[in-house]
Amino acid sequence: MLNVTKIREDFPILKRKVNGHDLVYFDSGATSQRPEIVIETIDRYYRETNANINRGVYEMSVESTQLVEESRKRVADFVGGRAEEIIFTRNTTESINLVAYAWGEDNIHEGEAILISKLEHHSNMIPWQELCRRKGAELRVIDMSEKGELVEEKEAVISEEKGLKLVVGGMKNLLDEKVKMIAITGQSNVLGTEVNVEEMVKLAKKHAPKALVLVDGAQMVPHMKVNVQSLGIDFLAFSGHKMLGPTGVGVLWGRKEILEKMRPFLFGGDMIGEVKLSGATWASLPNKFEAGTPDIAGIIGLGAAVDYLEKVGMEEIHEYEKELTTYALEKMKLLEDEGLIQMYGAEIKNKGGAIAFNITGVHAHDTAQILDSFGIAVRSGQHCAAPLVMNFGVPAMVRATFYLYNTREEVDYFVEKIKDVQKVFV
Ligand SMILES: Cc1ncc(COP(=O)(O)O)c(C=O)c1O
């Protein structure tokens, strides 16, 4: 069991007031808060070590390089990969774009297909839409049920919009030899739907043997134990800022054999082998994909975040968040039964810590603003997943997302204040 009281003491921001109330931070899906140790690690780096990496022979530069490489090793161990397979990017979005360009440009051809789902965040949708458009490839989209889960079997519907061939249907109806890439979220950022990635990889091996599998782990890696080997995937993208780390650092893990065959994404310093006026050769992994000075302090801070998460325990975090979500869903169901709110995806079988809802007759932005006046931070809008939100026939939703530092008392307060939002409008 997590000692949440003790955990909360590690997060200085949780002591602040918002509009005169204790902060209730229910927006960790957008970005998490950081524990003291992460803030301290970054602060100490700038005070004591700051120097550029990979190039200096002097002590501070060597120390900086070592700290970055130690972080790389920690991140690799955290997801079950090898250090040279960890590429530091800015965020999940950049990690996915890296694959869409550096792998996609050479490996996707006219008539082939890329498979995504309706659950995707725009970051795992638009890079593939654009790649398909450039290449004359099909974008296949696994449909979503009314509950908010992936549909296994449903006849495919083909359409063509702005030069893009779109095929929407059930997962099993979309897998065949034409599929070269399956890019799927590990967990929906709006509904919390946990996708059974292992099962998908098994199906892909059988029905789409040429496909690589990329997992958008932005909402998965921060909340559960992930092992790239046991999942059997080829790429994993995630963001440090959603897992207690600083903003500005993302990760792409890729299988070594695949990364080695890929062309670079960005060109310039640090990613080269030999350079002549007429051209250059590329550095070995991971430097080939890390052009220019990275967010050194951020990478080191991410290492501290990973240590913190491991000390608490990913299994414990996952279990705790599920319990808290079940508790919140039970309380909110009572409000739904009274007609006060509508929830979306409340009956998803495997659901992580995200609850999407609307208050009857109140726009999502108004709800979020009124909740803010009570010190509660929730997100409202389309959550960078417009097709998913639109699938429920609403223009916007309110979303509460939980992490290891949230409590039942906060949920109780939140549910009470939802009732007060209604009162403002009657
Ligand atoms: C599922 C998912 N994918 C991708 C992203 C994009 O992450 P970033 O903005 O860090 O690139 C997010 C951010 O909310 C997300 O929830």
Assign 347 to helix, strand or coil: coil
User: Which of 373, 375, 334 lies closest to 357 in space, CA to CA?
Assistant: 334
Burial 290-328 (b: 16+ CB within 10 A, else e): bbeebbbbbbbbbbbbbbbbeebebeebbebbbebbebb
Cα–ligand 1 centroid distance for 30 (angstroms): 7
pLDDT bracket for residue 255 (50, 70, 90):
very high
CA triple 112-116-121, angle to 5 deg: 140
114 touches 179 (CB < 8 A): yes
pLDDT at 346: 98
Q: Give residues (CB < 6 A) around ligand 1.
A: 30, 91-93, 121, 123-124, 185, 189, 216, 218-219, 239, 384
Average pLDDT score, the chain: 97
pLDDT of 309 over the 80 cut: yes
| Helix spans in 338-407 (H) | 364-373, 386-391
Cα–ligand 1 centroid distance for 150 (angstroms): 19
How far apart are alpha carbons 66 and 68 in whole angstroms?
A: 5
- 176-186 mean pLDDT: 98
What does DSSP say about strands 157-161 and 21-22: parallel, antiparallel, or unpaired?
unpaired
- 184-207 mean pLDDT: 97
Cα–ligand 1 centroid distance for 274 (angstroms): 36
pLDDT tens, 224-246? Answer: 999 999 999 999 999 999 999 99
For residue 384, the one-letter residue type is C
pLDDT tens, 105-138? Answer: 999 999 999 999 999 999 999 999 999 999 999 9
pLDDT bracket for residue 424 (50, 70, 90):
confident
Which one is catalytic: 384, 388, 398, 400? 384
Q: Which residues contact 237 (CB under 8 A, 6 or more apart)?
A: 92, 95, 96, 99, 124, 214, 215, 216, 217, 218, 250, 251, 252, 253
**Element at 157 (helix H, strand E):** strand 157-161
CA triple 162-93-256, angle to 5 deg: 110
User: Which ligand 1 atom sits closest to the C-alpha of 92?
Assistant: 11
pLDDT at 426: 65
* Shortest-distance Cα residue to atom 7 of ligand 1: 92
C-alpha distance from residue 52 to each of 59, 102, 302 (Å): 11, 26, 17
- Treating both helix axes as pointing N-terminal to C-terminal, what angle do 314-337 and 408-425 enclose, rounded to 10 degrees? 30
pLDDT tens, 337-355? Answer: 999 999 999 999 999 999 9
pLDDT tens, 129-154? Answer: 999 999 999 999 999 999 999 999 99
Return the residue matching tokens 């939002």.
421
pLDDT at 423: 85
pLDDT bracket for residue 208 (50, 70, 90):
very high
Cα–ligand 1 centroid distance for 8 (angstroms): 24
CA triple 191-222-208, angle to 5 deg: 70
pLDDT at 422: 81
How far apart are alpha carbons 6 and 320 in whole angstroms?
A: 14
Active site residue 132: no
User: Which of 155, 156, 115 lies closest to 138 in space, CA to CA?
Assistant: 115
Q: Which of 91, 239, 251, 252 to mutate to test the pocket of ligand 1 (most atoms within 8 A of CB)?
A: 239
For residue 82, the one-letter residue type is R
How far apart are alpha carbons 221 and 237 in whole angstroms?
A: 9
pLDDT bracket for residue 42 (50, 70, 90):
very high
Comparing 54-63, 171-180, 239-248, which segment has the lowest mean pLDDT?
Answer: 54-63
User: Which of 91, 127, 98 lies closest to 299 in space, CA to CA?
Assistant: 91
| Residue 6 tokens, joined | 């003790």
What does DSSP say about strands 179-185 and 113-117: parallel, antiparallel, or unpaired?
parallel
| Residue 279 tokens, joined | 């051209």
User: Hey, CA dihedral for 388, 391, 396, 401, is it positive or negative?
Assistant: negative
